[in-house]
């Protein structure tokens, strides 16, 4: 069920995820979405009770655009360089690969949600950036750029960084603070898949008024559209996007993984089959969450309500099928019909709210223990 739209307000809108907007990267000048198109998107959202995530560029939009945006239930997502225009509002701030220096200038009381789009070339500095930002935001989402190009050395380096981040997160919990890092703490709170769900719970509207599965599909080829504001949504083979039709993902318990269909089709040419690199990255994170959850459960009795994360001996669920041909049958067993239904019905927002609830509960318990 469609819950929200992502709207590209400018040809040079910031990215917020794995894909790249070439016009933003090249600092192209601003070219806002036509006002009439935005008007139609806002009305479409209102008519269909959809939340709208607006992706801003660097330049401010005219006042009449801001007034239109204010009519919809929305979230503003903007690049770090545009923050000055919105410093008195609640926003989601994207620190892009070209804006890492911005992280060093943030005040301690910043406390907005941050998306960190982290370049492969800076990987050895990742834990230092997390240490810098962990106190200065409510929630941090990490998107490792170019994970499809990670080789064995990069994956080993990422594991080293996760070990360092483990210590940072553990210290923070032990000193009575809760933590929200998409790649570590989310998995500790999840007991079902919480993927991106592009094409299922959200669609993107580009400045040309057409729908796309996500912005990455638009930037790759404008002909990738799946309908438009006039004729409606038309997704061919939509069933291929859901978990039921993803044979590797449906036996997996790296529940926090984005299961990015944009990266899937780029790397494996199959929208429902992830690359080895995407799986290994998610499993390194999942295993760090497991160690942290076990350790915190021993040291602080505040995580006992969380489902334990089992020990596993693989980093890519595909290895399960290779090692034990019989396990192939489990590809159809692991997610029961009931679970699948629950997964399809719950939006990622609902799951995030569940995570927030758990975080609140844990924070209260932590506070009572460290008083
Ligand atoms: S499919 Fe989802 S996770 Fe992948 S780039 Fe698009 S929005 Fe991001």
Nearest CA to ligand 1 atom 3: 260
**3-state DSSP percent of the chain in helix, strand and coil, to 5:** 50, 15, 35
Q: How confident is the model at residue 369 (pLDDT cuts 50, 70, 90)?
A: low
Q: Which helix H or strand E contains 100, and what residues bound it?
A: helix 100-105
DSSP secondary structure letters along 309-349: PPP-S-SSTHHHHHH-GGGGGHHHHSS-HHHHHHHHHS-HH
The mean pLDDT value for 132-140 works out to 92
CA-nearest of 230, 200, 225 to 215 is 225
CA 217 to ligand 1: nearest atom? 6
Q: How far is the CA of 232 from the centre of ligand 1 (A)?
A: 21
pLDDT the model gives residue 354: 64
Place of tokens 């601003």: 30
Q: For a pocket test of ligand 1, which of 147, 198, 200, 246 has the largest count of ligand atoms closer than 8 A to its C-beta?
A: 198
pLDDT the model gives residue 186: 94
pLDDT the model gives residue 287: 97
How wide is the angle at C-alpha 147 spanned by C-alphas 142 and 152, nearest 5°?
Answer: 120
CA distances from 29 to 122, 205, 310 (A): 27, 20, 50
pLDDT the model gives residue 306: 85
Q: What is the mean pLDDT of the chain?
A: 88
Q: For residue 128, is pLDDT > 60?
A: yes
DSSP secondary structure letters along 130-190: HHHHTTSEEEEEEEETTGGG--HHHHHHHHHHHHHHHHHHHHHHHTT----BTTTHHHHH-
Q: For residue 320, is pLDDT > 90?
A: no
Nearest CA to ligand 1 atom 4: 260
Q: Are strands 74-79 and 202-205 parallel, antiparallel or unpaired?
A: unpaired
Q: For a pocket test of ligand 1, which of 206, 263, 274, 277 has the largest count of ligand atoms closer than 8 A to its C-beta?
A: 263
For residues 36 and 44, give the distance between their C-alpha atoms in angstroms, rounded to a whole number.
Answer: 12
- CA gyration radius, the chain: 20
Helical spans, DSSP H, in 193-336: 215-220, 261-267, 276-299, 318-323, 330-333
- Joined together, the tokens standing for residue 144 give 């490792």
Nearest CA to ligand 1 atom 7: 214
Q: What is the per-residue burial (b if ≥16 Cβ within 10 Å, else e) of 187-199?
A: bbbbebbbbbbbb
The mean pLDDT value for 63-84 works out to 95
CA 258 to ligand 1: nearest atom? 3
Nearest CA to ligand 1 atom 5: 18
pLDDT the model gives residue 319: 82
- Joined together, the tokens standing for residue 367 give 């506070």
Q: For a pocket test of ligand 1, which of 94, 211, 260, 281 has the largest count of ligand atoms closer than 8 A to its C-beta?
A: 260
CB 147 within 8 A of CB 263: yes
Q: How far is the CA of 17 from the centre of ligand 1 (A)?
A: 6
For residues 53 and 72, give the distance between their C-alpha atoms in angstroms, rounded to a whole number.
Answer: 10
pLDDT the model gives residue 337: 38
Q: How far is the CA of 248 from the centre of ligand 1 (A)?
A: 18
pLDDT the model gives residue 362: 66
CB 293 within 8 A of CB 188: yes
pLDDT in tens, 32-71: 999 999 999 999 999 999 999 999 999 999 999 999 999 9
For residues 45 and 264, give the distance between their C-alpha atoms in angstroms, rounded to a whole number.
Answer: 28
CB 276 within 8 A of CB 318: yes
pLDDT in tens, 174-202: 898 888 999 999 999 999 999 999 999 99
CA 195 to ligand 1: nearest atom? 3
Q: How far is the CA of 254 from the centre of ligand 1 (A)?
A: 17
The mean pLDDT value for 132-161 works out to 96
354 or 216, greater pLDDT: 216
Percent of the chain surpassing pLDDT 70 = 86
Q: Which of 105-114, 118-127, 188-197 has the highest mean pLDDT?
A: 118-127
Q: How far is the CA of 262 from the centre of ligand 1 (A)?
A: 6
CA 214 to ligand 1: nearest atom? 6
pLDDT the model gives residue 107: 86
Q: For residue 31, is pLDDT > 90?
A: yes
The mean pLDDT value for 251-264 works out to 95
| Least confident range of 38-47, 63-72, 209-218, 348-357 | 348-357
Q: How confident is the model at residue 301 (pLDDT cuts 50, 70, 90)?
A: confident
Q: Burial, 245: exposed, middle or buried (Cβ in 10 Å; 0-12, 13-18, 19+)?
A: middle
164 or 356, greater pLDDT: 164
Q: For residue 327, is pLDDT > 60?
A: no
Nearest CA to ligand 1 atom 6: 214
Q: For residue 349, is pLDDT > 60?
A: no
pLDDT in tens, 85-106: 887 788 999 999 999 999 999 8
Pocket of ligand 1 (CB under 6 A): 17-19, 196, 198, 214, 216, 258, 260-263
Q: How far is the CA of 199 from the centre of ligand 1 (A)?
A: 10
pLDDT the model gives residue 359: 66
CB 56 within 8 A of CB 72: no
CB 194 within 8 A of CB 256: yes
pTM for the model stands at: 0.89
283 or 360, greater pLDDT: 283
Q: For a pocket test of ligand 1, which of 5, 8, 17, 274 has the largest count of ligand atoms closer than 8 A to its C-beta?
A: 17
pLDDT the model gives residue 321: 65
Q: Are strands 232-233 and 227-228 parallel, antiparallel or unpaired?
A: antiparallel
- CB hemisphere CA count around 325 (13 angstroms): 0
Q: How far is the CA of 273 from the centre of ligand 1 (A)?
A: 14
Q: How far is the CA of 263 from the centre of ligand 1 (A)?
A: 8
Place of tokens 């796309």: 212
pLDDT the model gives residue 302: 75
121 or 328, greater pLDDT: 121
């Amino acid at each position: 069920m469609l819950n929200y739209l992502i709207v590209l307000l400018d040809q040079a809108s910031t990215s917020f995820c794995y894909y790249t907007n070439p016009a933003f990267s090249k600092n192209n000048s601003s070219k806002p979405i036509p006002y009439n198109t935005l008007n139609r998107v806002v009305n479409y959202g209102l008519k269909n009770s959809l939340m709208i995530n607006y992706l801003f560029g660097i330049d401010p939009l005219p006042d009449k655009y801001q007034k239109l945006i204010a009519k919809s239930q929305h979230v503003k997502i903007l690049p770090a360089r545009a923050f000055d225009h919105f410093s008195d509002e609640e926003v989601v701030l994207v620190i892009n690969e070209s804006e890492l220096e911005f992280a060093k200038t943030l005040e301690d009381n910043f406390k907005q949600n941050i998306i960190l789009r982290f370049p492969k070339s800076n990987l050895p500095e990742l834990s230092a950036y997390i240490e810098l930002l962990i106190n200065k935001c409510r929630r941090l989402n990490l998107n490792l750029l170019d994970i499809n190009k990670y080789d064995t050395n990069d994956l080993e380096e990422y594991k080293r960084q996760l070990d360092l981040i483990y210590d940072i997160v553990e210290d923070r919990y032990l000193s009575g603070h809760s933590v929200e890092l998409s790649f570590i703490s989310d998995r500790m709170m999840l007991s079902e898949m919480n993927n991106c769900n592009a094409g299922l719970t959200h669609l993107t509207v580009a400045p040309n008024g057409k729908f796309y599965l996500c912005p990455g599909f638009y930037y790759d080829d404008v002909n990738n559209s799946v309908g438009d504001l006039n004729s409606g949504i038309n997704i061919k083979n939509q069933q291929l996007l859901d978990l039921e039709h993803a044979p590797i993902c449906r036996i997996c318990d790296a529940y926090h993984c984005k299961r990015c269909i944009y990266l899937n089709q780029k790397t494996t040419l199959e929208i429902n089959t992830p690359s080895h690199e995407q799986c290994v990255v998610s499993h390194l994170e999942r295993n760090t969450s497991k160690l942290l959850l076990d350790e915190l459960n021993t040291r602080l009795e505040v995580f006992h309500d969380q489902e334990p994360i089992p020990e596993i001996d693989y980093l890519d669920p595909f290895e399960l099928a290779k090692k034990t041909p019989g396990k192939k049958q489990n590809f159809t067993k692991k997610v029961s019909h009931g679970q699948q239904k629950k997964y399809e019905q719950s939006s990622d927002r609902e799951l995030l709210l569940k995570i927030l609830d758990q975080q609140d509960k844990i924070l209260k318990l932590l506070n009572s223990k460290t008083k």
